[in-house]
Amino acid sequence: MMEQVNNKTKWLHLRLSPTEQAHINKAFKKTTCRKLSDYARSILMGKPVVSTYRDSSLDDFMTELMKLKNDLNACGNNFNQAVRKLNSLDKIEDKKRWFSYYDSSRQILQDCIQQVDNYLSKMADQWLQ
């Protein structure tokens, strides 16, 4: 059985005054909708919109956590590249040079891990209060 693909290909353009836009954005921020287009689509189609308080501290936490995750992934990739390069070298001089690069990459990775740990500890303290 084939599933129907529900691509949204049609556009609806609106012109709003700054006051109208501010009013819509204010109402949107009070909902659990992640995108303004989802909110507008629900309102226009007469679907119920969950208007509840969103925990902004959790939103801020998730934003910061995603940044830290991306930084940690980048540090991990750099570290893995340094280890691969170090393992592929034959000459002692090259290994000495790459070992210093490996050591600096390891230190950067440890610093990133420490940042994540500090931030998670800080957030845990806030949640436990």
Write the pLDDT tens digit of every residue in 1-25: 566 777 888 888 889 899 999 998 8
| Token duo for residue 126 | 């806030």
pTM score? 0.43
- Mean residue pLDDT across the chain: 78
Between the alpha carbon of residue 128 and those of residues 4, 41, 54, 116, 124, the distances in Å are 46, 38, 19, 18, 6
What are the structural domains of the chain? 14-54 (no CATH), 56-128 (1.20.58)
pLDDT tens readout for residues 33-71: 888 888 888 888 888 787 766 566 666 777 777 787 788
